[in-house]
Amino acid sequence: MVRIVDVAKKANVSTATVSRVITNSGNVKKETIEKVMEAIQKLNYQPNILARQLRRLETKTILVIVPDITNTFFSNILRGIESVANKNGYQVLLADAHNNVERESNFLDILYQKKADGMILLTARIDQNVIGEISKEYPVVLACEYFEGSQIPTVSIDNISSARKATDHLIGLGHKRIGFISGPLGGVLGRDRLKGFQQAMAQQNLAVPPFLVQEGDFSYESGYNLMLKILTLDLPPTAVFAANDEMAIGAIKAIKSKGLRVPEDLSVIGFDDIKIASIFEPALTTIAQPTFEIGLKAMELLIKLINKDSITKNQYMLEDKLVIRDSSKELS
Amino acid sequence: MVRIVDVAKKANVSTATVSRVITNSGNVKKETIEKVMEAIQKLNYQPNILARQLRRLETKTILVIVPDITNTFFSNILRGIESVANKNGYQVLLADAHNNVERESNFLDILYQKKADGMILLTARIDQNVIGEISKEYPVVLACEYFEGSQIPTVSIDNISSARKATDHLIGLGHKRIGFISGPLGGVLGRDRLKGFQQAMAQQNLAVPPFLVQEGDFSYESGYNLMLKILTLDLPPTAVFAANDEMAIGAIKAIKSKGLRVPEDLSVIGFDDIKIASIFEPALTTIAQPTFEIGLKAMELLIKLINKDSITKNQYMLEDKLVIRDSSKELS
DNA sequence: TTTATAAATGTAATCGTTTACACTGGTTTC
DNA sequence: GAAACCAGTGTAAACGATTACATTTATAAA
């Protein structure tokens, strides 16, 4: 292994000067720079980042905890994060929680052990107080999810109003008996979307019988199974709102498995607008989130936190969009 | 920040002893261990991993370069890798190349800078010689892809024989005019699957007119566009083999867009068996790769390399499986 | 009791950088 | 011509752990 001293010797300067050259921190004569660069070339020297990190007490790495990497919804957020990260010399350490709270918590050690300078959470299943404590000591940004009454910087859409928008779409099509397949009600995200649904229904004085609301876990399988359950009702709904696309697709598959058609017999609307939403048949009506921008903004905020820059506000709400495709249709 | 010296002072021992306790490297009296643990608890001490890494010249981190994180095919391989990694105290640094060779090469710096102890490549677009050189100096394992005539440890299926198997399936159903949508022919993976296709066709003395072979890039879009192109032929094929599922689904969408049906008018077979393959309609006939096992084995090999254990052989071929679903059907 | 051996602990060097501070020699300012 | 300043460089002390080696203490053997 070739070290900075080797370069220094070869170039006949001190290690300090070499260091100044590789970090281009100014105040080095042009010729000296050339000498040093030549030595670096010849020796094929690469600075040892560990040593630098130890000295500077920073890692230039940030941690992103994803609830489930197989859900393509998150991929695009990641790309947004990465794009800002790389532009600023940060590397992204990706942690996949496999939808498992315990795994999620374990990743926090990475932060404690100073292996990362900050963290973006794309999930909020860890205890709010724990995260609250951590965020006092380390830079933390929440994306998509959020905690009620928390001061942690957050980037998301307005889930309540989006869910209202989706529900209004169905109501506008003449549906009155609408089912809802929710996300886990343990999280705000799941609760908010349910809240939006309920608000929209209430506004039009439409009833929401409890058995028309089923709690899922955002997985394809839960969408499938819960829809089957809903279909066993004497008076099944004419439309269903699933709190994410994966469950919506599961629901449609369940509907089809019973010989019914979407949207002719039942309208279905999803949430997220993941890639298959437009490929699947019928193409899914859904709420599109500005995923890339969410990632972008989250990383920008995190960098500000790391640099201890002041942050003007800590709740960023981005615009979503209703995308009407083939899975929803006027009640006939 | 609380350091090891603080703990040492509090527990009235030397830093060496504290270090021995936290790395439990033996030879410490029970009572002393207790004293130290108590101090650690009280001070809420967390060892600084950077310092440890610098001293030991290892990072306990491995780098995985994925060609495209949005392709769910890789997610399961990652889980295999992670499962072995975590069991052995390694963290996984995920690098997403966005299907971009340049990005891919840039990640190599992570290795040069000693930010990772080794690397698993799930893609092989980087120049073979470059990788060859790197693998002499750093632990490197290739998964899924491989280089011809290279000594780098590799875990994959036998793509040639798998492609032959897929083609034989179509031939067995009576198809004689079969189209092939390949992956990028710049990579062995793309070439091998084409080779298997050609071999199977040749074995049955079936012609492969050049225009029935189209080069895609493994993306949904390329599958869609190339299928449209194939359908403009005067005598279109009765079956199509796409070199991965994403392209197969693109192809099916294209076929449908022309008012044709799968499998009634054309049979389609894919490759990989990603999750949507079974959800999509028609459910896709495809070759299932043992993704989790591939990841597992790759990480096991990498750990051996890192530990400089001897490796008995360096080409691991795992078993794939033909999964017959609804997108392929006897020629009527 | 003495000696040999093993167990437990401490001292200080080390990993490879960065950077505060000191130094040199030259230029500018009054 | 002294004082003040600056550009360019070097010296050596950090950063926070691990660990080779030295030392002390306890235990066993003679």
pLDDT, tens only, A53-67: 999 999 999 999 999
- Cβ distance B49 to A281 less than 8 Å, yes or no, reads no
> How far apart (Å, rounded) are the C-alpha atoms in residues A141 and A158?
17
- For residue B112 the two structure tokens come to 């040069």
- Cβ distance B96 to A79 less than 8 Å, yes or no, reads yes
The whole-angstrom distance between A29's CA and the closest CA on chain B is 26
Phi, psi of B203 (to 5 degrees): -55, -30
- For the domain spanning A159-289, the CATH number is 3.40.50.2300
- Mention every residue, 6+ apart, whose C-beta is less than 8 A from residue A259: none
* DSSP assignments along A45-105, one per residue: ----HHHHHHHHT--SEEEEEES-TTSTHHHHHHHHHHHHHHHTT-EEEEEE-TT-HHHHH
> How far apart (Å, rounded) are the C-alpha atoms in residues B45 and B39?
8
Cβ–Cβ under 8 Å, residues A80 and A292: yes
Protein CA at B27 to nucleotide C1' at D30, angstroms: 27
CA atoms lying within 13 Å on the CB side of residue B157: 23
What are the beta bridge partners of residue A241?
Answer: A180, A269
Residue of A nearest to B53 (CA): A50
Cβ–Cβ under 8 Å, residues B174 and B331: yes
pLDDT, tens only, A93-134: 999 998 888 988 989 988 888 889 999 999 988 888 999 999
Cβ–Cβ under 8 Å, residues B94 and B64: yes
Residue A53's nearest nucleotide, by CA–C1', is C17
Does the pLDDT of residue A310 top 90, yes or no? no
- Cβ distance A49 to B113 less than 8 Å, yes or no, reads yes
Does the pLDDT of residue A26 top 80, yes or no? no
Q: Any chain B CB within 8 A of the CB of A114?
A: yes
| Tens place of pLDDT per residue across chain B (332 aa) | 899 999 999 999 999 999 999 998 878 999 999 999 999 999 999 999 999 999 999 999 999 999 988 888 999 999 999 999 999 989 999 999 988 888 889 899 888 888 899 999 999 888 889 999 999 989 999 999 888 888 899 999 999 999 999 999 999 999 999 999 999 998 889 999 999 999 999 999 999 999 999 999 999 999 999 999 999 999 999 999 999 999 999 999 999 999 999 999 999 999 999 999 999 999 999 999 999 999 999 999 999 999 988 888 889 999 999 999 999 999 88
**B82 neighbourhood in chain A, CB within 8 Å:** 96
**Local confidence band at A242 (pLDDT 50, 70, 90 cut-offs):** very high
Protein CA at A28 to nucleotide C1' at C27, angstroms: 18
Q: Any chain B CB within 8 A of the CB of A261?
A: no
Q: Any chain B CB within 8 A of the CB of A87?
A: no
Between 3.30.110.30, 3.40.309.10, 3.40.630.40, 3.40.50.2300, what CATH number should domain A59-157+291-319 receive? 3.40.50.2300
Point out the residue among A82, A113, A281 whose CB comes nearest to the CB of B96: A82
Protein CA at B29 to nucleotide C1' at C5, angstroms: 18
- Cβ distance B69 to A50 less than 8 Å, yes or no, reads no
- Residue B36 is predicted with a pLDDT of 95
- Write down the CATH superfamily of domain B60-157+291-319: Response regulator (3.40.50.2300)
Interface contacts A/B by beta carbons within 8 Å: 87
Closest to B60 measured CA to CA, from B29, B23, B32, B14: B23
- Specify the pairing of strand A321-323 against strand A286-288: antiparallel
User: Any idea which architecture B159-288 has in CATH?
Assistant: 3-Layer(aba) Sandwich (3.40)
- Residue A113 is predicted with a pLDDT of 84
Interface mutation target, options A44, A49, A96, A138, chain B, most CBs of B under 10 Å: A49
Domain boundaries, chain B: 4-47, 60-157+291-319, 159-288
- Closest CA to D14 C1' — which residue? A55
**A51 neighbourhood in chain B, CB within 8 Å:** 54
CATH top-level class of B4-47: mainly alpha
- Cβ distance B72 to A70 less than 8 Å, yes or no, reads yes
Same fold, B60-157+291-319 and B159-288: yes
Cβ-based burial of B27 (10 A; exposed 0-12, middle 13-18, buried ≥19): exposed
The whole-angstrom distance between B158's CA and the closest CA on chain A is 25
- For residue B158 the two structure tokens come to 């036998």
Q: Which of residues 32-91 of A touch strand C (CB under 7 A)?
A: 45-48, 51-52, 54-56
> How far apart (Å, rounded) are the C-alpha atoms in residues B212 and B227?
10
Protein CA at A129 to nucleotide C1' at C18, angstroms: 37
- Residue A49 is predicted with a pLDDT of 92
pLDDT, tens only, B208-264: 999 999 999 999 999 999 999 999 999 999 999 999 999 999 999 999 999 999 999
User: Torsion-angle region of residue B61: left (phi > 0), alpha (psi -120 to 50) or beta?
Assistant: beta
Q: Any chain B CB within 8 A of the CB of A54?
A: yes
Closest to A15 measured CA to CA, from A59, A45, A42: A45
- Cβ distance B93 to A98 less than 8 Å, yes or no, reads no
Q: Any chain A CB within 8 A of the CB of B56?
A: no
Closest to B320 measured CA to CA, from B25, B10, B68, B73: B73
Interface mutation target, options B45, B66, B94, chain A, most CBs of A under 10 Å: B94
Closest to A320 measured CA to CA, from A295, A292, A293, A287: A287
Does the pLDDT of residue A200 top 90, yes or no? yes
Protein CA at A133 to nucleotide C1' at C26, angstroms: 56
Alpha-carbon torsion B33, B35, B41, B45, what sign?
negative
Q: Any chain B CB within 8 A of the CB of A59?
A: yes
